[in-house]
Amino acid sequence: MADQPTSHPRKKLYIETVGCQMNVLDSELVVARLRDDGYELTTDIEEADAILYNTCSVRQHAEDKIYSALGRIKQLKKRKPELSIGVLGCMAQKDQNLILKRAPHVDIVVGPGQLARVPELLTIAKAEAKPQLAVSLARTAGSRDDVTSSFDNYDSDREPSVRPSPFQAYLRVMMGCDKFCTYCIVPSVRGPEQSRPPDGIVAEARALAGQGVKEITLIGQTVNSYKFREPDGRTTRLSDLLARLHDVEGVERIKFITNFPNDMTDDLLQAVRDLPKVSRYIHVPAQSGCDLVLKRMKRMYTVGFYEDMLARLRETIPGSSVSSDFIVGFCGETDESFQKTIGLVERSRFKNSFIFKYSPRTGTKADDLFADDVPEEVKKRRNHELLELQTAISLEDNMEFVGRETTVLVEGRSRSTTRREGWDGVDQLSGRTHCDRIVVFDGPERLIGRMVQVRIENASGVTLFGQVVTAERIASSV
């Protein structure tokens, strides 16, 4: 770490992150690098010396929000010409120079495979008074090796202060995606699929545990496709990696997201069943319940295959919960195809589903080949209908927990908690069960980061409510 003279005031960094867990982790790494470069974080955009947006390209809406944020800070830059502004991540890789055209007050545009260069690019932009663009090669711009090596791996830098919480951390096991679902921009902006060497992942998990991290979430666009071949031919699958991480002292819970249905192999399901630290929660997006739509999406499975996989999963891992993603209003989705999705959701009993309206992305196969022919009103209606159905199912399933005791890893104060006048030291806390259900209950803040037993007394579609049953025992062991 570069030494900072104590008399030198640190520069202020304001960073906003949108999108998926990959971006949350990327921001952590960027902040780590910039701290070494003399920056400290601020939440006040007005006092920032540098404003960075770590962006998402998955849907148009996410991009629109960033362009409006850039519009809003134009005046700030006029008032403070020394202010540095950066657009990082997927939108930077996708739009490249277009960002500088639409927002000429931006100083750096940096794709997800170039983020290690952010500090250097900020310096160059300032020294040369010229915007800097750093992106990786397009998927068709060279050999696979060339394109792959243009997406840099810089995961060893970590910065605890921007984690979801001090004891929860993301750990990237793979980068990129090779599935090329026709609607999805991710393979273009995040590059070719690469699995990281297991030794590095385990070393990182040990380091995280040493910093007090108890819950590690392994992330990859298709995390269950993880496969690393050693030069001697030995192969590490995700199940093997989970077993190795299970041995890391201090780590109490391990999750992994997101899974691809075709790669849900028996060895992985058995690992989840047999390794007690591994959360019994699997996010495995179905995207649609209609074979014709799945084919047009190039998902490479049928509804029948998906349901068989689900049955196998539930048979192997009792007490597990499954969640899914759905896109409604994809090109050519008729009422009949939508009804098939409704049918799949009715039968599958997902813990929850993330539902998105199809958003055409320039550069994807679907945008090239198919018309975005479902009107916005219909997309909205289908989104609403599917969400209502899922919420009703989630509520029914959550009600099953009422009267039962469950182990909860306490994540923090519940979002709705505000300390009241005459506060008695009892907060409303929030945590998750082993199958990833959110539990809210009263308890002292010192329970944060600990496993507690909670008796569930009530439930809504998204939350279980209960009382701690082991507070005394836990309190005395603190």
Residues in contact with ligand SF4 by CB under 6 A are 177, 179-181, 184, 186-187, 221-222, 260
Structure tokens given for 375: 């009107």
CB of 204 to ligand 5AD, least distance (A): 24
| Long-range contacts of the stretch 115-121 (C-beta < 8 A, 24+) | 115/26, 115/29, 115/30, 115/33, 115/88, 115/89, 115/152, 115/154, 116/29, 116/33, 116/152, 116/154, 116/157, 118/30, 118/33, 118/34, 118/52, 118/86, 118/88, 119/33, 119/34, 119/36, 119/37, 121/86
CB of 166 to ligand SF4, least distance (A): 29
CB of 221 to ligand SF4, least distance (A): 4
Binding mask 327-356 for ligand 5AD (x = CB under 6 A): x----------------------------x
Residue 247: CB atoms within 10 Å:
12
Give residue 292's identity as a one-letter amino acid code. L
CA angle 321/271/298 to nearest 5° reads 65
Single residue of 178, 274, 325, 385 touching ligand 5AD by CB under 6 A: 325
In the complex with ligand 5AD, the residue whose CB is nearer, 198 or 329, is 329
CA dist., res. 23 & res. 89, Å (int) = 7
Please give the residues from 150 up to 189 whose contact with ligand 5AD meets the rule CB under 6 A.
Answer: 183-184
CA dist., res. 305 & res. 265, Å (int) = 13
In the complex with ligand 5AD, the residue whose CB is nearer, 355 or 448, is 355
**Nearest of 266, 339, 309, 323 to residue 461 by alpha carbon:** 323
In the complex with ligand SF4, the residue whose CB is nearer, 75 or 362, is 362
358 binds ligand 5AD (CB under 6 A): yes
- Picked from ligand SF4, ligand 5AD, none, the partner binding residue 59 (CB below 5 to 8 A depending on kind) is ligand 5AD
Annotated binding site: 20, 56, 90, 177, 181, 184
- Size of residue set near ligand 5AD by CB under 6 A: 12
193 within 8 A of 141, measured Cβ to Cβ: no
361 binds ligand 5AD (CB under 6 A): yes
- Picked from ligand 5AD, ligand SF4, none, the partner binding residue 358 (CB below 5 to 8 A depending on kind) is ligand 5AD
Burial label, 175 (beta-carbon count in 10 A; 0-12, 13-18, 19+): buried
CB of 41 to ligand 5AD, least distance (A): 27
CB of 315 to ligand SF4, least distance (A): 25
